Structure 1
Amino acid sequence: MNTEYIGLGLAWASGIIALLYSATIAKKILSLSSGTLEMQRIAQAIQEGAQAYLKRQFLTISFVGVILAVMLYGSLGSHVSLGFILGAILSGVSGYAGMSVSVRANVRTTEAARSGLAQGLAVAFQAGAITGFLVVGLGLLGVVSIFTFLTIMEGTERFLLETLIAFGFGASLISIFSRVAGGIFTKGADVGADLVGKIEQGIPEDDPRNPAVIADNVGDNVGDCAGMSADIFETYVVTLVAALQIAFLTVNTSRELMIYPMVVSGVCMLGCILGTFSVRLGKKKNVMNALYKGLGTSIVLSIVGLVYVTWMFFGFDQILYDKVTGLSLVLSGTVGMVSTAILVWITEFYTSTSHRPVQQIARASVTGAATNVICGLAVSMEACFFPAVVVCSGILCAYTCAGLFGIALAGSSMLALGGIIIAIDAYGPVTDNAGGIAEMAGLPPEVREVTDALDAVGNTTKAVTKGYAIGSAALASLILFSAYTQELKHFFPNLSIDFSLNNPFLMTGLFLGGAVPYVFSSMSMKAVGKAGAAIVVEVRRQFSEIRGIMDGSQTPEYGKAVDILTKFSLKAMILPSLLPVVLPLGVYSVIASGFGQIQAFSALGGVLMGTMITGLFLAISMTSGGGAWDNAKKYIEAGHFGGKGSSAHQAAVVGDTVGDPYKDTAGPALNPFIKIVNLVALMLLAFL
């Protein structure tokens, strides 16, 4: 009993420390100089655009959320409804607060870059760390608070699993809306700005004469910062919830093994906080290596923490269940963290300018846009294989060590590194904005050289962290599917469900589930195409009607582009975001009404497997391929194959505009899509 209280206390303390750490860094960052009046004016425009967009986004989501909360209250009760609301609120708060700091840190990064590369890196990374530890701190506290209150209050423990699932569902809802809408906004702006500004007008990226430049910088924050925060938040809590559920349903019903994943998440969080202090620029001035030092240190310290809490809880030799010992749990958790490091390295290989795939795409650009696109598609397909090998190896190793709970522990350990991972990711939009502010404010070339060096790495870190998010989502989805099969046994012990491949109902669900991620991706990419077309028309109009834009005598109407994208993205996000909610409910209803409940459960299991498999590979292909296209353009802009303004550069810009909705809209949005399908299925079982 004492161990349980110590474990819960450690989890509570870790979450609170993460929030205090974020608050301390935020205070430090906001006390720094924000530069010249012109820099402050540009930064203010980005802040106002990002905040106005998110406010309108949350109002739209709130309307949908209230309807779902009422439906959950009527069907599953107040505890489930409140869990859903809490998950949605915490997910929204983490994204909004993190983005609010990022849009204030960008100008301070620009100012710090005037003093050198090391100073700019320090400010940008610390700004990202605010978002990272805010996300994981709120996620852990949300799960721990539900667990604590529902297990302490008499008569409420029976609502625990359903409430935790609803908490994850609320977080997932915010995540998919943020990913889809934010992705449409940022990539619509990016496509429109590049096609007219770079190709038609021949002006540099982030040139203040481009009417879409402020919208582009706003999009970096609402898509890459707020969207990524919501994505990792929901993956973090969903994986943690699934681990608790597996412990409850398949291992034993004692609280120790349910508390254990929360304790592991807590000590890993503390290890990651300590790891941030090792992010220092070395003698070689390699920014990526500085960030990797932080990640490597975090993994080592987290493994040390994992070993210690396992020894504290169980020892290493005591048999806990099915010949599984404390050492088995340590090995399972270590598998998740090592898999993170390997996935990061693989994604960097496919998206960094230092390696073969990106250089191949750049070389293909010499002969035109068509060969650039062909090579980019080939790289995006190739990039699927090795992450799949890593995920499969992790699954088999964790299962061999500790069964289903071992897989759940590997997934939750992987996500426990979310603080440092999001810090590395949120670094990207901060440095991107910093470069834009330096360009628009007319700062000296040496400042832009520093911000370009920071931004070049930021482009890779954004791709790398998406690879991590997808890999962790794959493990989370497998855990959720396992939870689905276990809940079937728990809620319907007398039913015999057939999940064999010769069952036509399972195959029906498998094919439908496998097809829908393509439909979802199609809807997302079409929305980006329409948004980009609208911005192209608007930017062309302004260049045509406002004659003084090009000579600098007149200022573009930046707000028009922001307003167009805000209205369009919020309207376009509704249908694709509701698709993963409707899919499992629709398949179950149709099959159950025509063939019976047993066949419907088989078909629903097929849907979960189908979305997991095709969604995983689509997401990897899109994010890695899109990142490679983007960095191929950056590689040429660095002076290779003719440099800026060459025919190869123009071809690479076209390839980059194809890759933009791949890597920043459809690909990342598949992460919450897969998990929402699973969560809706679990809630359906609880309702039935």
Structure 2
Amino acid sequence: MYQYVGMFMVVFAAVIFVFLGSIEGFSTKGQPCTYSTGTCKPALYTALFSTASFLLGAITSLVSGFLGMKIATYANARTTLEARKGVGKAFITAFRSGAVMGFLLSSSGLVVLYITINVFKMYYGDDWEGLFESITGYGLGGSSMALFGRVGGGIYTKAADVGADLVGKVERNIPEDDPRNPAVIADNVGDNVGDIAGMGSDLFGSYAESSCAALVVASISSFGINHDFTAMCYPLLVSSVGIIVCLLTTLFATDFFEIKAASEIEPALKKQLIISTALMTIGVAVISWLALPAKFTIFNFGAQFFCVAVGLWAGLIIGFVTEYYTSNAYSPVQDVADSCRTGAATNVIFGLALGYKSVIIPIFAIAVSIYVSFSIAAMYGIAMAALGMLSTMATGLAIDAYGPISDNAGGIAEMAGMSHRIRERTDALDAAGNTTAAIGKGFAIGSAALVSLALFGAFVSRAGVKVVDVLSPKVFIGLIVGAMLPYWFSAMTMKSVGSAALKMVEEVRRQFNTIPGLMEGTAKPDYATCVKISTDASIREMIPPGALVMLTPLIVGTLFGVETLSGVLAGALVSGRHLCFQHRRCMGQRKEVQATASTRGPLAPRVQTATRRP
């Protein structure tokens, strides 16, 4: 997949260079070329720097995802072995492995962005607008790779998951991750591809976009008048403090307190969010007081501190609302589990209803954070609120990566024929990871909403759109089309998963029916064919959804102008957030219902149909 994405990266970089290189005076300063020849055009150099930053962002995202998968594959087996010593030892191994990935991703993104700014500044000097406009390519590169990583990884893992569960657990009544199932290897690989590499790229894209949005808005607002280097790099200082805070927070889970029972795992992970948010609030207050000039401050604290803090605490609220709707300790998941008694229809109805309902409080939290941060510092405040929500990204990634690591550790225990006690311990780790993983994704979705609004504000400011009037026919047409785009995108990805899953189910059935001795365990299944089905599907099916996202703004802007494009972006921003929140809760509920339904009494009998395949 990275080979195909690499080809796209090169082609799109060439497109960026050609388009930006054809624009005279891309920098609003309109500075002449500072080189000794005096004949080069600033637009060409801006195109060169923007293209370079795009490639840096894309490569950083790809490297982070690749190294995350390497970390996870080493951690899977080590967690399984540590589970022999107890659930506490296995928890420490899994959590520390997730923390390594979190620190790797957040620190690499920060250091590459900081070095890029300093190198580009040698050419731009005090032209902060031109400098930070060229830096926006970094966020575009990161989010582009996140798009393909999320879509491709999701198609891979869900196709394998459906094939392994429907045929293995449902039809053949064999345990999950049983080595007799031909799709189990693809399923375990998919956890790393989708939940490690895909999620890492997703959060990296949000971090890169929020940082670039804050830098761009600062350069074109009243906050950028003095062009003080430390103040202009305030967004990077916030991220730096976040890494230190997350490092201290990790010690509470692995060194200061000991996990002795499975029931202590989920509270320990939730405490990570609370402790990191509290420490980060103090850290942001200190760095705001030290780094920002006096004119940035109100009531002896930086105005930007309040913007970062409101995003930080809004993220915590979103996380706990997610935990309420996806944990089997609360009524929503229990109600969905109870609905399974009467069959799949009522189960789907309850699950969708609660998924829609779970959107309410997170949307209000985002709305309040937008209002407060905008009142304090306009669009710059919104960008800083988004960065505040992502400031504890290392802890969020540690919690999120912990889940698939524990899941695969259980798969290894099952396939290796280890004691059932080890599988029980890894299942306990995985059960806690299901809910906390949904919490981490809530942070990503909430921050993406704020980042999108900040980038939208930067776009309309630079494009010369003074007012986005919804009563204008051009804007309203863009609104309804933009609101439709997330559903179009979701339909394409769901259809892709369905097509791949169909092939996977047929292949698993074929092997069970045609390979003698497979069910008895005397023959070995053909794992490679199932892996190839998921791999080919993820590569082939990720192209149309990716093209829809990447080409829509270019086509709309070229054919219908910036007014219609602003409507498209606004419509997609609003409908996309609701759809993402609802989808995330449904996914979290699904995993918890699987763990809960068996304890809620007898379920409806499976219906045998005449059309069922042999």
- Counterpart in the other structure of 2:70: 100
- Counterpart in the other structure of 2:289: 311
Q: Specify which of 104, 110, 126 is matched with residue 134 of structure 1.
A: 104
Q: Specify which of 575, 589, 614 is matched with residue 614 of structure 1.
A: 575
4+ aligned runs moved over 3 Å, structure 1: 152-159, 280-285, 323-327
Structure 1 position 453 matched with structure 2 position 428: yes
8 Å contact kept, 1:497–1:602: no
Kindly report which structure 2 residues correspond to 1:430-445, keeping only aligned pairs within 5 A, or say none.
430-445=405-420
8 Å contact kept, 1:384–1:620: yes
Change (3 A) 1:267 1:498: closer
Q: 2: CA distance between counterparts of 1:259 and 1:497?
A: 28
- Counterpart in the other structure of 2:38: none
* Displacement after TM superposition at 1:149 (Å): 1.5
Kindly report which structure 2 residues correspond to 1:6-405, keeping only aligned pairs within 5 A, or say none.
57-76=1-20, 77-153=47-123, 159-253=130-224, 254-255=227-228, 256-279=230-253, 280-282=257-259, 285-314=263-292, 318-320=294-296, 326-405=301-380
8 Å contact kept, 1:235–1:476: yes
* Displacement after TM superposition at 1:376 (Å): 1.0
Q: 1: CA distance between counterparts of 2:215 and 2:594?
A: 45
| Secondary structure, aligned partner of 1:319 | helix
| Secondary structure, aligned partner of 1:233 | helix
Q: TM-score, normalised by structure 2?
A: 0.90
What amino acid sits opposite 2:497 in the alignment?
V
8 Å contact kept, 1:247–1:257: no
Q: 2: CA distance between counterparts of 1:162 and 1:62?
A: 24
* Displacement after TM superposition at 1:314 (Å): 3.2
Q: 2: CA distance between counterparts of 1:230 and 1:338?
A: 24
Kindly report which structure 2 residues correspond to 1:580-659, keeping only aligned pairs within 5 A, or say none.
580-591=549-560, 600-637=561-598, 639-642=599-602, 646-647=603-604
Q: 2: CA distance between counterparts of 1:471 and 1:604?
A: 23
- Counterpart in the other structure of 1:540: 509
Structure 1 position 570 matched with structure 2 position 570: no
* Displacement after TM superposition at 1:549 (Å): 1.1
- Counterpart in the other structure of 1:426: 401
Structure 1 position 561 matched with structure 2 position 530: yes
Q: TM-score, normalised by structure 1?
A: 0.81
Aligned residues: 573
* Displacement after TM superposition at 1:354 (Å): 0.9
What amino acid sits opposite 2:231 in the alignment?
L
* Displacement after TM superposition at 1:158 (Å): 5.6
Residues 100-123 of structure 1: CA distance to partner in whole angstroms, max 9, x if unpaired? 110110010010011001100000
| Secondary structure, aligned partner of 1:552 | coil
| Secondary structure, aligned partner of 2:520 | coil
| Secondary structure, aligned partner of 2:296 | strand
8 Å contact kept, 2:203–2:444: yes
Percent identity over paired residues: 40
* Displacement after TM superposition at 1:153 (Å): 3.5
What amino acid sits opposite 1:499 in the alignment?
V
Q: 2: CA distance between counterparts of 1:455 and 1:195?
A: 20
Q: 2: CA distance between counterparts of 1:533 and 1:304?
A: 52
Q: 1: CA distance between counterparts of 2:283 and 2:571?
A: 37
8 Å contact kept, 2:186–2:530: yes
What amino acid sits opposite 1:640 in the alignment?
R
5+ residue gaps, structure 2, are 21-46, 608-614
* Displacement after TM superposition at 1:619 (Å): 0.7
What amino acid sits opposite 2:440 in the alignment?
T
- Counterpart in the other structure of 1:37: none
Structure 1 position 414 matched with structure 2 position 389: yes
- Counterpart in the other structure of 1:668: none
Q: 2: CA distance between counterparts of 1:566 and 1:282?
A: 38
* Displacement after TM superposition at 1:609 (Å): 0.5
Q: 2: CA distance between counterparts of 1:606 and 1:134?
A: 37
* Displacement after TM superposition at 1:346 (Å): 0.5
8 Å contact kept, 1:211–1:558: yes
Q: 1: CA distance between counterparts of 2:494 and 2:299?
A: 46
What amino acid sits opposite 1:221 in the alignment?
N
| Secondary structure, aligned partner of 1:211 | coil
* Displacement after TM superposition at 1:157 (Å): 5.4
**How big is the alpha-carbon RMSD for the aligned residues of Structure 1 and Structure 2?**
1.7
What amino acid sits opposite 1:299 in the alignment?
T
8 Å contact kept, 2:288–2:305: yes
8 Å contact kept, 2:160–2:190: yes
Q: 2: CA distance between counterparts of 1:580 and 1:403?
A: 28
8 Å contact kept, 1:79–1:159: no
* Displacement after TM superposition at 1:559 (Å): 1.0
8 Å contact kept, 1:335–1:397: yes
8 Å contact kept, 1:182–1:219: yes
* Displacement after TM superposition at 1:79 (Å): 0.9
* Displacement after TM superposition at 1:435 (Å): 0.7
